[in-house]
Structure 1
Amino acid sequence: MQFSDSAARFFRYLNMDYLIAPFLIRLIYWVGFIAIIGAGCGILFNALDASVPGNARISLTIGATLLSLLLWRLLSEILVLAFNLHARLIEIRDLLSHRQDATEEEQSVPPPLFLLKKPAPPFDDRGTA
């Protein structure tokens, strides 16, 4: 039974050969990125409105925002890396199965007769070795 490409892809998703988590992780990453930027801007504007001189608070807010973005990126990359490893292992499995199929086909076909050598007789015409 042959399926179209879209149906075959759908069945691969059902069998979890292809995962949707990497897409969701990237989506959550961008939502978190925007939230961190928004929180950093909110804290920065709050520091500007404060009655206490805020040069140190402003620099700490900018530094904390940048550090938060870096840590958020690292966490997201670690999660995506795990799923990329899964995808690579699936590719390796498929390549090895194709290679195994090819070697089985090669083994089932006998070599041509002209490649087969005749074994040398153990004795010459006089019966000596």
Structure 2
Amino acid sequence: MSKPPLHPSAETWLHILFGDDNGGGHLAGQGVEGKTEFPDYWTLSRIESAILNIHERALTVDSLEPTILFDGYIDGILLRVVLSVDHKGQRVLKTAHPLRGNGVFKIINGVRVSKPLLRQDRTK
């Protein structure tokens, strides 16, 4: 059975892409310390599509009530999408970010460090 579509708020998108007081900031070029960035060749619409569709294609799903973690691949990028369940029992997008893959970088001490897929990633 298909999962209901997500309808993230503007605030959620701003958090994921540009960051806020709670974290986020995963759009390429944001330079947020300790955060991974989507590949710079991914457009905003590509990021949106990947995030909204990953829970349909997830390789792993971990439920830590009320949070649900979906990890999966989109175009060779390992993504994590985090949903929560609201008081009505509806899934709500909380955040999302790339874990590893071609073009994924993590900001460490102000330096962009490449985060390629690992051997164990390829066997999932």
TM superposition score normalised by structure 2 = 0.20
- RCO greater where, 1 or 2, for CA within 8 Å and sep 6 or more? 1
TM superposition score normalised by structure 1 = 0.19
Higher Cα radius of gyration: 1
Larger strand proportion of the pair: 2
